[in-house]
Amino acid sequence: MKAEIIAVGSEMLTPSRQDSNSLYLTERLNEIGVSVAFKTIVGDRLKDLVNVIRTALGRADIVALMGGLGPTEDDLTREAVAEALHIKLRRDAAQVANLHARAATWRMPMPENNLKQADVLDGATVLPNPNGSAPGQWLDTTHNGYRKLVFLVPGPPNECCSLFDNECLPRLREAVPPRHIAKRVLKAAMIGESAADKIAAPIYTTYKDVETTILAKTGDITLTLLCTKPSLEEAQQRVDDLAGRLEEALEEWIYSSKGEPLEQIVLDYLGFRNATLATAESCTGGMIAERITSVSGSSRSFLGGAVVYSNELKTKFADVAPELIERYGAVSAEVAKALAEGIRLRTGATIGLGITGIAGPTGGTDSKPVGLVYIAVSDAEKNEVTERNFRGARDRVREWSAQQALDLVRRRLM
């Protein structure tokens, strides 16, 4: 079954606010085998709301409306659903009593407009909301001959999520055929999106019952495999089967078969090998250390590092000989190697990582353009340097560089 989630509220059409409840609802819906096919955000205008609800009824089996249930003039979700479905609103006596009781416990007079919140769609079940004044509503109805499950929940996240869990989810579970979704997330580093797809597509397109998506971000590819079946075992077997074939085809580009980030994998490998890492970063300015230390427990394998932005610090913290910088330039294979080896020896780490480059937008020359980066990985046996030419703005060059550096450490540990 397909769901559409509609977030109602003009504030979510401004540059500064975003619907986030839908992420929670999506997770819960997926768990019972319902996929979210559409999400729509609409403001507090009746005409627009009716349009959106009618559109949703035409393309989804389950329509989840969040927000617009409060007492103010621009809370219009109830009215819009009534208009879209050509049904009436009735003022519910029990709800009116509830609202009076609620106002009394707050020792406040109840404004007349509060009573709007007692308006219930004809045929709907009122869903109690212990965290707020606006109750939810549940409607199991027919539209153009098709069964539609429509529910209205309040917008504030704490009210929305708990009301959904307590009242909507049990009803949905009963209404939808029992289905199970299995999921696998594979991650690959430093392969282009189209190159990855060229390898992966001939395989995943033969698994029609598994939905495969590829997402690329600065040297990081995420392959998500989703399969829905009447039994979880069956679904799991299909995604595992496909995941296995993709892992084989994408070879050592794949760094994770369970969706962990690259920095986590590097730390896992370090732990497994009983090895430690230290970094000497110039152009990435601490980005690599920051990524590694974002993982809890990273202190077991990551000793630390130096952000050696000035030439002086390259010497002070990583023992790079000033003559080397003088002779080859701060951005050179030689200095990258010296950084890697220097930081390794200085800290006593098993592996030293050195990186130097020109992040831009200024500082480039004809022979050393913006985007030129040298990354060296040093251990007791060897000290290898990789030269790359990354493109794009400063932040992109830095992100690519950090990703490449972490991937080189992973490959050294493989």
The footprint of its own copies on residues 346-365 (CB under 8 A) is 346-348, 359-362
Determine, following the binding rule CB under 8 A, whether residue 341 of this chain makes contact with its own copies: no
From 51-59, 145-153, 166-174, 244-252, span contacting its own copies (CB under 8 A): 51-59
Cβ(375)–Cβ(405) below 8 Å = yes
Whole-number minimum distance, CB 400 to its own copies, in Å? Answer: 12
CA 199 to chain centre: 25
Rounded to whole angstroms, the Cα distance separating 71 from 132 reads: 11
**Sheet hosting strand 210-217, strand order edge to edge:** 210-217, 220-229, 180-189, 254-256
Is residue 266 within 8 A of residue 293, CB to CB? The reply is no
As a whole number of Å, the CA-based R_g of the chain is 28
Q: What is the rounded distance in angstroms from the CA atom of residue 13 to the CA atom of residue 232?
A: 38
Residue 166 contacts by C-beta under 8 Å, 6 or more apart in sequence?
none
Both structure tokens of 193: 């999106």
> Any contact of residue 203 with its own copies (CB under 8 A)?
no
Count residues near its own copies (CB under 8 A).
106
Q: Does 11 bind its own copies (CB under 8 A)?
A: yes
Q: Which is nearer to its own copies, 5 or 382 (CB)?
A: 5
- For residue 3, give both structure tokens: 């769901």
CB of residue 346 to its own copies, shortest distance in Å:
7
Q: State the minimum distance, in angstroms, from the CB of residue 2 to its own copies.
A: 9
| Nearest distance, CB of residue 123 and its own copies, angstroms | 27
246-275 residues in contact with its own copies (CB under 8 A) are: none
Is 192 a binding residue for its own copies by CB under 8 A? The answer is yes
Torsion of the alpha carbons at 96, 102, 105 and 107, rounded to the nearest 10: -70
| Tokens read off for 285 | 């300015």
Question: Looking at 79, 83, 211, 247, which residue binds its own copies (CB under 8 A)?
Answer: 211
Question: Which is nearer to its own copies, 87 or 115 (by Cβ)?
Answer: 115
**Three-state DSSP state, 45:** coil
Stretch of 87-95, 170-178, 276-284, 320-328 lying at the interface with its own copies (CB under 8 A): 276-284
Pairing relation of β-strands 119-121 and 89-91?
A: antiparallel
Q: Which of 101, 194, 231, 327 binds its own copies (CB under 8 A)?
A: 194
Is residue 66 within 8 Å of residue 5, measured between CB atoms? yes
Contacts of 7 (CB under 8 A, 6+ apart): 19, 21, 22, 39, 40, 41, 42, 66, 67, 155
Q: Which of 267, 292, 340, 385 binds its own copies (CB under 8 A)?
A: 292
**Cβ closest to its own copies, residue 37 vs residue 321:** 37
The yes or no reply on residue 77 touching its own copies (CB under 8 A) is: no
Q: Is 368 in the site for its own copies (CB under 8 A)?
A: no
Residues 6+ apart with CB under 8 A from 365: none
Contact positions with its own copies (CB under 8 A) in 87-126: 108, 111, 113-114
Kindly identify the residues of this chain, within the stretch 150-179, that bind its own copies according to CB under 8 A.
156, 158
> Rounded CA gap, 48 and 67, in Å?
14
In the set 1, 8, 34, 41, which binds its own copies (CB under 8 A)? 41
Q: Does 70 bind its own copies (CB under 8 A)?
A: yes
Please select the residue that binds its own copies; options are 21, 298, 356, 378, rule is CB under 8 A: 298
312 token code pair? 């002086």
The 8-class DSSP code of residue 298 comes to G
Which of 122/209 has CB closer to its own copies? 209
CB closer to its own copies out of 9 and 136: 9
- Choice between 83 and 140, CB closer to its own copies: 83
